[in-house]
């Protein structure tokens, strides 16, 4: 399979003598709710979508993303040349009012990346410092508590060389993807586990999504969304049938019946599950199909986007997963929180299919395939670093460990195209 393709960065002060003597850019305007803590488990899907949209309104990916990210890369390389940033010791304890060398060190660390705009030689862990920590957390995809917990500490201590690697890999993906942006388009950023609907260069919808597990990663892909299916059936992939379904049937012969699944032969004729040998390595070539309903793994709605990976976006019967911070749990497809809202946006120019009609159509329990009057471009991308239009550089974890692979491959190609006079030996 092919590789799948917030912090304000600082301008280096002229003549700065220390690695952390940086001058931050002006802070972008933020909505009042930008620093609000999102309790996803206590929210409805609609509330979750509204909350994450309020946190930041700029697209992850737009036509100028590569240019901005390239500039961010240059600035991070300058930070590296100045010595990077100091490590925060694991023993450091931060709480409102705390003072001491560790607090001063944190201030200096945040100034380097522009998350804090002034540095004091001493002083308590005050509101200004808490706000700086929140800014750092937001641009790193962390819960904006203003407290330095284990995850925030780990992010703060990622070396600048690693951040440069992330920017380099993400820039390569942006330059190679060849996505044709439209007036309206959808982007799924896999490492961030979010989807965005962009219209008129603005993010008008943002959703939590569940993407592929590390062992079953979601691919990078570009396509056109052309259909919305209400009450879809689910044809189980052969690999899942032979391994996961077969294993369940060996333990629980009533599993398929309970899950409203049928076994079909090559002609589409129904077979008795009890007549199948579900022993490992003996499962015949049969099709397992799940009927529409709340039990269906695709939930009540599927969004079609033709592609060679046979992946798509859909609802789910496990909606509790959207409340999790770690949302890497699918077999490669993208499950979308508040997916009916996304469907309504996709269908807004398609006659007779507003949100009310979508809900009524689902309530019938009957499968309905709705063709969009105009297809909408969609890109699933793999960006662990990017700079948005408000000059905030964001980072996410390299969940599939692909950045190093891509950078090594690029280095090998560069070496091949630009050979030195020295012979290459293996």
Query: Looking at the annotation, which residues are catalytic?
Result: 314, 333
Burial 339-368, CB ≥16 within 10 A → b, else e: bbbbbbbbbeebeebeeebbeebbeeeeee
- For residue 291, what is the DSSP state? P
Element (H, E) at 221: strand 221-230
CA–CA separation, 391 and 187 (whole Å): 19
CA–CA separation, 72 and 83 (whole Å): 17
Supply angle C-alpha 112, 113, 114, rounded to 5. Answer: 95
Closest CA to 319 of 340, 336, 332, 341: 336
- For residue 175, what is the DSSP state? H
- Rg, the chain, Cα only: 24
Can you give 27-57 as a three-state secondary structure string? CCCCCCCCCCCCCHHHCCHHHHHHHHHHHCC
Which phi-psi region, left, alpha or beta, contains residue 114 (left: φ > 0; alpha: ψ -120 to 50)?
A: left
């Amino acid at each position: 399979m092919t590789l799948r393709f917030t912090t304000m960065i600082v301008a280096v002060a002229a003549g700065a003598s220390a690695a952390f003597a940086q001058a931050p850019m002006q802070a972008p305007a933020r909505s009042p709710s930008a620093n609000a803590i999102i309790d996803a488990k206590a929210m409805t899907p609609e509330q979750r979508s509204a909350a994450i949209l309020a946190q930041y309104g700029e697209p992850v990916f737009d036509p100028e993303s590569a240019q901005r990210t390239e500039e961010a890369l240059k600035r991070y390389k300058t930070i590296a040349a100045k010595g990077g940033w100091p490590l925060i010791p694991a023993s450091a304890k931060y709480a409102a009012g705390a003072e001491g060398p560790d607090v001063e060190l944190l201030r200096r660390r945040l100034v380097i990346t522009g998350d804090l705009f002034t540095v004091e030689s001493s002083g308590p862990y005050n509101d200004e410092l808490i706000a700086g920590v929140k800014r750092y957390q937001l641009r790193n995809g962390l819960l904006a508590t203003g407290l330095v917990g284990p995850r925030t500490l780990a992010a703060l201590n990622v070396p600048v060389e690693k951040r440069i690697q992330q920017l380099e890999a993400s820039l390569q993906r942006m330059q190679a993807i060849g996505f044709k942006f439209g007036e309206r388009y959808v982007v799924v950023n896999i490492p961030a586990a979010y989807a965005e609907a962009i219209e008129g260069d603005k993010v008008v919808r943002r959703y939590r999504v569940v993407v592929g597990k590390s062992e079953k990663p979601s691919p990078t892909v570009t396509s056109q969304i052309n259909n919305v299916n209400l009450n879809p059936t689910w044809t189980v992939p052969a690999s899942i049938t032979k391994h996961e379904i077969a294993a369940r049937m060996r333990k629980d012969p009533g599993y398929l019946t309970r899950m409203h699944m049928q076994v079909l032969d090559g002609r589409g004729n129904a077979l008795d599950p009890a007549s199948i040998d579900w022993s490992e390595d003996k499962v015949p070539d049969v099709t397992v199909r799940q009927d529409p309903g709340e039990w269906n793994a695709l939930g009540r709605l599927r969004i079609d986007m033709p592609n060679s990976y046979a992946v798509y976006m859909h609802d789910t019967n496990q909606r509790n997963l959207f409340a999790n911070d770690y949302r890497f749990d699918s077999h490669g497809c993208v499950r979308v929180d508040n997916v009916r809202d996304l469907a309504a946006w996709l269908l807004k120019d398609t006659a007779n299919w507003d949100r009310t009609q979508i809900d009524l159509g689902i309530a019938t329990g009957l499968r309905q395939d709705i063709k969009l009057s105009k297809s909408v471009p969609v890109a699933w991308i793999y960006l662990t670093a990017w700079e948005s239009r408000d000059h905030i550089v964001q980072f996410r974890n390299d969940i599939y460990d692909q950045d190093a692979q891509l950078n090594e491959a690029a280095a090998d190609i560069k070496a091949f195209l630009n050979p030195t006079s020295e012979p290459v030996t293996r």
